[in-house]
Chains A and B, each alone.
Chain A
Amino acid sequence: MRTRKVIDTSVLPSVILFIVFVIINSILSKNFMRASAWISFLQTVIPILIISIGQAVVIIGGGIDISVGSTICVVNVIMATTSSFEGSALKPVIIGLSAAIAIGAFNGFLVAKLRTPALLATFATSFIGNGIALTILPIPGGQVPLSLSNFYHFKFFNTIPLALIYVVFVLLIWLIWKKSPMGVALYAVGHNKYKAFFSGIEVYKIQFYTFVFSGFAAGIAGLCISSNISAGDPRIGSVMTLNSVAACVIGGISLAGGSGTVIGSIFGAMFIYLILITVMGMNVPVYYQDLVSGIIIVIGIIIAVYIQKRGRPTKTY
């Protein structure tokens, strides 16, 4: 039996906003279209791209994960303390990623097994994560192995950064999930978990896996951000949580769950970071930059939500 394919238009607003701001930026600054500018833009934006992918999967499944920022902090301090500058990269990567997956599994346990609201459960976890990060490394410092940093900053033919491989890796795992029967189940759970339950879908299992995936993505993002700045900072990820949720909303993923695509969140994240570049390019005085970029992001969200308004009641997590 064949099913008719319906083109998902929820990505459109974010793609349009992204293209508009690429054009604005290339008019404002001549350097913007150079390869070197793009490479440094990508290297900064890759961590937020990856956690947005994880966040998107959780939100599509009807939850929300506001502990991703603290997971990044934990991974970052582990990367910076478990090895030396010249040392092997294997140990920090393995410990860091397992810690991230463990935090994700803990979130999944709280939401799927204990049935606590996702917003509050992940909020509690973010306390624990921040606490662990501050205990391991109270003040910024430490050293991330040089090999990780070299790997991250390597580029092919001076145009394509090798760091993109991390995004491809996470996207690949998501694609395998999406093409499997569990992909359909995820959307079903997000749309209406009662109907999904009575259709024989293991709702709790799916919810659990979304949080594990989000934790894993946050782990990879932590690896990227550590490689990029090659030092440890126990508060580095705090801002990123909010940006990942905003990226998903701009990317057309409804917070009610069950709709939207992961690609949207990627464009949403790139749009948010483009705005920061635009505001700097417009020579806005330094104290007004936050205000201007904040207003543009709010307008972006209003446009994105307004275009794809479907009359469904808005449930926020």
Chain B
Amino acid sequence: MMIVEGRMKIKIIKIDKENFLRVKNGEIGKLFLPILISILLFTIGQIINPGFASLQNIGNIFAIAGILTIASTGQTLVIISGNYNIDLSVGALMSMGAVLGSGLLRGLDKNIFLTFVVIIGIGGFFGFIIGSSIHWMSIPALVMTLSMVSVIDGFTLAISKGRPYGSAAPFLLKIGGNRIFGWFRVLSIITIVLVVIVTIILTRTRYGKKLFLIGNNRMAAKVSGIKIGTLVIATFILSGVMGAVSGIFLLSMVGTAQIQMGASYTMLSVAAVVLGGTQLSGGKGSYIGTLFGSIVFVTLTNVLISIGMKQGVRLIITGLVLVMILGAYSRQPRLRQ
């Protein structure tokens, strides 16, 4: 800690090596459980339906979980930032990214750069509106992001006139569909690179350290001279950008865009983040956890589909498993301590 010219300023330079992935102490257990559950699910799937644990299928599951992980990036950062912040506009932003992306790409590789710039711009703009309303107007994040869903969906509808046009560029389709060694999707590589980058941002940069600090104790952060407003708004801008960009990746895997195609990802991203051991109250969590949370969720859905269950039964079982996982490690302390 250094005090510079009378203004208090914390300089965090030292980083202990065990803390690199934020998996020390109790957090290792929280990562262990999702891994165990996924292995268990794969075993069950293999027993019931031989061929389930084939490399081909594992590659597919990783790719779908990758989309969910990319979509949950912003959610992880927002939830870590504390104050019960949450971003429920992820799904709407994804649909927006996919529909607008397909319209801008028009199936041509040369449009990719422009598309990414425009989509990032729009996503960042929506993120800025959400973040600034939450910070300056002190509107609860849950309400603000929920009500922005209809604005973003309305925006998508207004631009596309209800009929998504264009298609994904061939290069993006290769990213979403091609396989390395016959099973590992190119998309999974992007996911892994993203996980490394975000983990480094969370654990090795000033931004990440400040994010955990404002999540843990806002008053302490304020007293230490951290500009909470800038940090919160920046986090929501990042969340908006990542939400919109994940829409393009969803498009790259599916091929064609539909209105509302990302809507289900909103609550799935919250579930993935919580399964990954990030606390809803903020200040604690990791992006690696989110990756494993996504894998658990996608594997579960995949096992149920491979057994041949109807959608209704699948939803019931998913809900029950979610209840069990919540009961296992998302419980709040007793009132009598």
- Contact indicator B138/A128 (Cβ below 8 Å): no
B142→A117 contact, CB < 8 A:
no
Q: Beta-carbon contacts of B303-337 to A below 8 Å, as 1s and 0s?
A: 00000001111111111101100110011111110
Q: How large is the interface on B (under 10, 10 to 19, 20 to 34, 35 or more residues)?
A: 35 or more
Q: Would you call B234 an interface residue if the criterion is a C-beta within 8 Å of the partner chain's C-beta atoms?
A: no
Interface residues of B in 113-147 (CB under 8 A from A): 133, 137-144, 146-147
- Residue interface bits A126-141, CB-to-B below 8 A is 1, else 0: 1111111111101000
Query: Assuming A120-B326, A135-B310, A315-B84, is B153 touching A290 (CB within 8 A)?
Result: yes
Taking CB as reference atom, which chain B residue is nearest A289? Answer: B154
Question: Known contacts A127-B316, A127-B319, A316-B141; is A116 also within 8 Å of B85 by CB?
Answer: no
Across the interface, name the chain A residue whose C-beta is closest to B149. Answer: A242
A103-127: CB near B (< 8 Å → 1, else 0) gives: 0000000100011110111011111
> Which chain B residues (144-165) contact chain A, with CB distance < 8 Å?
144, 146-155, 157-158, 161-162
- Complex-state Cα separation, A131 to B151, whole angstroms: 28
> Known contacts A128-B316, A288-B154, A291-B157; is A246 also within 8 Å of B143 by CB?
yes
Contact between A295 and B323, CB atoms less than 8 A apart:
no
Stretch at the interface among B12-20, B49-57, B266-274: B266-274
Quick one: which of B138, B146, B280 contacts A117, CB cutoff 8 A? B280
Indicate whether B250 reaches chain A with its CB closer than 8 angstroms. Answer: no
Q: A301 interface residue, CB < 8 Å from B?
A: yes
B223 to chain A minimum Cβ distance, whole angstroms, is 16
Contact present for A131 and B313 (CB under 8 Å):
yes
B147 to chain A, nearest CB (A): 5
A295 to B154, CA, bound (A): 9
Once bound together, how far apart are the Cα atoms of A197 and B335, in whole Å? Answer: 7
CB pair A245 B319 closer than 8 Å: no
Query: B150 to A123, Cβ gap below 8 A?
Result: no
Contact A123 B270 (CB under 8 A): yes
Chain A: minimal CB distance from B82 (Å): 11
The answer on a CB contact under 8 Å between B319 and A125 is yes
Are A314 and B154 within 8 A (Cβ)? no
Please give, as numbers and ranges, the residues of chain B lying within 8 Å of A301 by CB-CB distance. Answer: 139, 143-144, 147
* 8 A Cβ contacts from B58-117 to A: 83-86
Bound together, the chains give a CA A197 to CA B337 distance in angstroms of 11
Q: Which residue of chain A has the shortest Cβ distance to B133 in the bound complex?
A: A302
A197 touches B150 (CB 8 A): no
Cα separation A64 to B332 with both chains bound (whole Å): 16
Q: Which residues of B contact A136 (CB under 8 A)?
A: 312
- A135, B312: Cβ atoms under 8 Å? yes
Contact partners of B140 in chain A: CB under 8 A: 249, 255-256, 305, 314-316
Nearest-CB residue, chain A, relative to B280: A117
Chain A contact residues: helix, strand, loop or mixed: helix
A287 and B332 CA atoms in complex are apart in Å by 45
Q: Which residues of B contact A102 (CB under 8 A)?
A: none
Q: Which of A117, A131, A289 contacts B319 (CB 8 A)?
A: A131
- Given A287-B161, A302-B137: A133 in contact with B331 (beta carbons within 8 A): no
- Which residues of A245-263 have CB atoms within 8 Å of chain B's CB atoms? 245-246, 249, 255-256
Most B C-beta atoms less than 10 A away, residue of A117, A134, A290, A316: A316
In the bound complex, do residue B335 and residue A305 qualify as a contact, i.e. CB atoms below 8 Å apart?
no
Residue contact B315 to A114, C-beta cutoff 8 Å: no
From A128, A287, A295, A298, B320 is in contact (CB under 8 Å) with A128
Chain A residue with the shortest CB-CB distance to B314: A131
Residues of B261-311 whose CB lies within 8 A of A? 267, 270-271, 274, 280, 310-311
Q: Which of B137, B139, B157 has the most CB of A within 10 A?
A: B139
In angstroms, Cα B270 to Cα A315, docked, is 17
Measured CB to CB, the nearest residue on chain A to B333 is A115
Contacts of B315 in A (CB 8 A): 127-128, 130-131, 134
Cα–Cα distance between A317 and B81 once the two chains are bound (Å): 16
B148 interface neighbour in A193, A298, A314, Cβ under 8 Å: A298
Whether A317 contacts B142 in the complex (CB less than 8 A), given A123-B270, A127-B319, A294-B154, comes out as yes
Residue in B149, B267, B330 whose CB lies within 8 Å of A116 = B330
The answer to whether A116 touches B141 (Cβ under 8 A) is: no
A292 to B154, CA, bound (A): 8
Determine how close the nearest CB of chain B comes to the CB of A97; give it in whole angstroms: 21
Contact between B147 and A116, CB atoms less than 8 A apart? no
Is the pair B280, A120 in contact by a Cβ cutoff of 8 Å?
yes
Q: Return chain B residues, CB-CB under 8 Å to A313.
A: 83
Across-interface contacts of A121 in B (CB, < 8 A): 323, 326
A194 within 8 A of partner (CB)? yes
| Residues of chain A within 8 A of B327, CB atoms compared | 110, 114, 116
Given the complex of chains A and B, what is the CA–CA distance between A64 and B86 in angstroms?
Answer: 14
Given contacts A123-B271, A316-B143, A294 and B151 within 8 Å (CB-CB) = yes
Query: Would B316 and A117 count as touching, CB distance under 8 A?
Result: no
Which of A125, A256, A302 has the most B CB atoms < 10 Å from its CB?
A302
Q: Which residues of A contact B85 (CB under 8 A)?
A: 316
Q: A120-B280, A309-B137 are in contact. List 12 more A-B contacts (CB 8 A).
A: A115-B331, A117-B280, A119-B142, A119-B280, A135-B312, A245-B143, A245-B146, A246-B147, A301-B139, A302-B139, A314-B139, A316-B143
Residues on A facing B (Cβ under 8 Å): 64, 110, 114-117, 119-121, 123-136, 138, 193-194, 197, 203-204, 242, 245-246, 249, 255-256, 287-295, 297-298, 301-302, 305-306, 309, 313-317
24 pairs from A and B in contact (CB 8 Å cutoff): A110-B323, A114-B327, A115-B331, A116-B323, A116-B330, A119-B280, A120-B271, A120-B274, A127-B318, A128-B316, A128-B320, A132-B316, A193-B335, A242-B146, A246-B147, A249-B143, A292-B154, A294-B152, A294-B154, A302-B139, A313-B83, A314-B139, A314-B141, A317-B142
Q: Which residues of B contact A (CB under 8 A)?
A: 83-86, 133, 137-144, 146-155, 157-158, 161-162, 267, 270-271, 274, 280, 310-320, 322-323, 326-327, 330-336
Closest 4 CB pairs of A and B: A131-B315, A291-B154, A127-B319, A290-B154
